[in-house]
């Protein structure tokens, strides 16, 4: 069989509608992923309204789109690609937290393939230059959540854990698997919590006056009284 015909045969053999319907029937997983994307959408909307015209907003749009891809890929039972998309969600948030106030570096990033900044460099920048970042992130446990999560997701994406999240070895046999689906949703939920804590620790206080009361309650949900006091953000 010619390669193109073999690929077409494999893709046609997968019941993609059945996979999506099984995903939607899993109320707990579906609700968790939908709630994660709602949180990302609310942050993106609030920030875009307040920081309209900032060229770094493209990172927020990438964050939001990648979150939607997590939902679509999980619905199709493509769990490992979903892990790659959720890593992009977190990375895009980190990039925005830095490049929103560094237009020259952003222009260099666009212009030169040699320029690069990574997660470690951004965190080090915030430790040195962002007021109260160290206290806020420590109170929220941001870095203690981010580093192991990022390592775990990267190991999945790069195949460093053989067999993890890979699914069947034959494309034609792609189908939903309850355990992998649940793991994907849980990993995404942890990633979106990291996004929330990243924004709260870095620049939320600069835009908080423009955040709607309902969104404030969502972003601060689950935080203790001392944590809220340290952040200095009202809840309504």
Q: How confident is the model at residue 105 (pLDDT cuts 50, 70, 90)?
A: very high
- Would you say residue 108 has pLDDT above 80? yes
Mean pLDDT, range 53-78, rounded to an integer? 97
pLDDT at site 163: 67
Mean pLDDT, range 147-170, rounded to an integer? 86
Distance CA 38, CA 32 (A): 10
pLDDT at site 159: 83
Q: How confident is the model at residue 217 (pLDDT cuts 50, 70, 90)?
A: very high
pTM of the model: 0.95
Distance CA 69, CA 10 (A): 22
Query: Above pLDDT 90, what percent of the chain?
Result: 88
pLDDT at site 1: 61
Q: What average pLDDT does the structure give for the chain? A: 94
pLDDT at site 165: 79
CB contact at 8 A, 197 and 142: yes
pLDDT at site 234: 85
Mean pLDDT, range 53-58, rounded to an integer? 97
pLDDT at site 47: 97
pLDDT at site 166: 73
pLDDT at site 116: 87
**At how many degrees (to 10) do helices 178-202 and 57-75 cross?**
170
Our measurement of the distance from residue 24's CA atom to the centroid of its chain's CA atoms, rounded to an integer in Å, reads: 21
Mean pLDDT, range 23-35, rounded to an integer? 98
Percent of the chain that is helix, strand, coil (3-state, to 5): 75, 0, 25
pLDDT at site 96: 98
Distance CA 108, CA 98 (A): 14
- Would you say residue 56 has pLDDT above 80? yes
Mean pLDDT, range 156-161, rounded to an integer? 84
Q: How confident is the model at residue 16 (pLDDT cuts 50, 70, 90)?
A: very high
More confident: 153 or 162: 153
Please provide residue 115's backbone torsions phi and psi, each rounded to the nearest 5 degrees.
-85, 135
């Amino acid at each position: 069989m010619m390669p193109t015909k073999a690929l077409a045969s494999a893709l046609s053999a997968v019941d993609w509608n059945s996979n999506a319907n099984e995903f939607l029937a899993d109320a707990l997983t579906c609700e968790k992923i939908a709630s994660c994307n709602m949180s990302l959408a609310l942050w993106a909307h609030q920030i875009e309204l307040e920081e309209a015209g900032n060229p770094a907003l493209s990172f927020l749009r990438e964050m939001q789109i990648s979150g939607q891809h997590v939902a679509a890929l999980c619905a199709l039972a493509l769990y490992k690609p979903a892990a790659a998309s959720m890593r992009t969600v977190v990375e895009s948030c980190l990039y925005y937290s830095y490049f929103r106030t560094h237009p020259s570096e952003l222009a260099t990033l666009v212009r030169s393939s040699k320029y690069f900044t990574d997660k470690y460099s951004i965190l080090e920048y915030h430790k040195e230059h962002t007021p109260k970042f160290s206290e806020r992130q420590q109170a929220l446990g941001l870095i203690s959540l981010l580093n192991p999560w990022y390592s775990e997701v990267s190991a999945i994406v790069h195949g460093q854990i053989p067999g993890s999240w890979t699914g069947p070895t034959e494309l034609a046999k792609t189908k939903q698997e309850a355990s992998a689906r649940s793991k994907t949703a849980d990993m995404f939920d942890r990633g979106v919590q990291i996004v929330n804590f990243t924004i709260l620790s870095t620049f939320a206080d600069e835009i908080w006056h423009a955040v709607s009361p309902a969104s404030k309650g969502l972003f601060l949900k689950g935080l203790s009284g001392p944590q809220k006091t340290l952040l200095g953000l009202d809840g309504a």
